[in-house]
Amino acid sequence: MTAVGAPIRLAIADDHALFRQGLKALLRSRDDVLVVGETDRVEGLDRFLEGTPCDVLLLDLQMERSAVDEIRTAARRVHVVIVTANEYSDEPLAAMRAGALAGSVREADRQRLTPRELEVVRHVAMGLKNGDIARQLFISEETVKAHLSNVFGKLGVRDRVELALHALRAGLVALHPAPGERHSESLPRKS
């Protein structure tokens, strides 16, 4: 731990480069927090913490896989604060039980997208092709392509599969509808 008056040494583990950059930019103006390192992977998190002396680890729960298993080990070394985009997941509670001290639901992805872009994302996650999405939303196929291009840039994904996985992880779509949510906004149930 740092001495009284010394800045809090913060390490960031999040696979969204834009989020990490934004957070670092926000914290640069503060004298009481110093970002000492960052990683975009859960794999090797223990080694990262060994080589990055810090007081607090800000940890995205869903990177290339769930980070819940790493929290118990990390919490022995540093204070762990979790960030998640999925408010309906059981993972934040599991993370707290594993030793995380605090958590935050990140709404950034939902806020960055327009309502129409969110509709397109939901339809992509359901497996619809551009032409089908265009017919469902009463827009042209070119407009669907334009929306997808915008979404890819905003979310930092490269293709439809990565978009669908990101949408699930970030809570932009759900496997099953949340109470009061229309079923068309969820992925179909598997039999």
Query: Do 87 and 181 contact (CB within 8 A), yes or no?
Result: no
Cα atoms found within 13 Å of the Cα of residue 90, Cβ hemisphere only: 1
In a domain, 191, yes or no: no
- Choosing from 53, 87, 106, the residue where a domain stops is 106
Query: Based on the domain organization, do 12 and 89 belong to the same domain?
Result: yes
Please give the pLDDT value at position 109. Answer: 63
Instruction: Say which CATH number the domain at 73 has.
Output: 3.40.50.2300
Query: Based on the domain organization, do 79 and 116 belong to the same domain?
Result: no
Please give the pLDDT value at position 88. Answer: 52
- The radius of gyration computed from the CA coordinates of the chain, to the nearest angstrom, equals 19
Please give the pLDDT value at position 168. Answer: 66
Measured N-to-C along each axis, helices 141-155 and 115-125 cross at an angle, to the nearest 10 degrees, of 90
Query: Based on the domain organization, do 77 and 140 belong to the same domain?
Result: no
Query: Based on the domain organization, do 62 and 38 belong to the same domain?
Result: yes
The string of pLDDT tens digits covering residues 36-60 is: 999 999 999 999 999 999 999 988 8
- Choosing from 65, 87, 106, the residue where a domain stops is 106
Instruction: Supply the range of the domain harboring residue 122.
Output: 109-185
Query: Based on the domain organization, do 60 and 21 belong to the same domain?
Result: yes
User: Token pair for residue 110?
Assistant: 């939902």
- With a CB cutoff of 8 Å and minimum separation 6, the contacts of 169 are 62, 85, 86
The string of pLDDT tens digits covering residues 74-89 is: 999 999 988 776 655 6
Whether pTM > 0.95 for this model: the answer is no
CA distance 88 to 173: 11
Please give the pLDDT value at position 105. Answer: 56
Instruction: Say which CATH number the domain at 153 has.
Output: 1.10.10.10
Tokens 């109470």 -> residue: 179
Query: Do 62 and 82 contact (CB within 8 A), yes or no?
Result: no
CA distance 105 to 23: 15
Please give the pLDDT value at position 29. Answer: 79
Query: Based on the domain organization, do 89 and 36 belong to the same domain?
Result: yes
Strands ordered across the beta sheet of 79-84: 33-39, 8-13, 56-60, 79-84, 102-105
Per-position pLDDT tens, the chain of length 191: 455 678 899 999 988 887 788 788 878 878 888 999 999 999 999 999 999 999 999 888 878 787 888 898 899 999 998 877 665 567 777 888 888 886 665 565 666 788 899 899 889 888 889 999 999 999 999 999 999 999 988 887 788 877 877 776 666 775 444 444 443 443 333 33
- Choosing from 64, 82, 106, the residue where a domain stops is 106
Please give the pLDDT value at position 178. Answer: 43
Please give the pLDDT value at position 183. Answer: 39
Pairing of strands 56-60, 33-39: unpaired
Query: Based on the domain organization, do 24 and 62 belong to the same domain?
Result: yes
CA distances in angstroms from 14 to 29, 45, 136, 166, 172, listed in the order given: 21, 11, 34, 13, 18
- The residues with which 84 forms a beta bridge, in sequence order, are 105
Query: Based on the domain organization, do 73 and 159 belong to the same domain?
Result: no
Query: Based on the domain organization, do 88 and 117 belong to the same domain?
Result: no
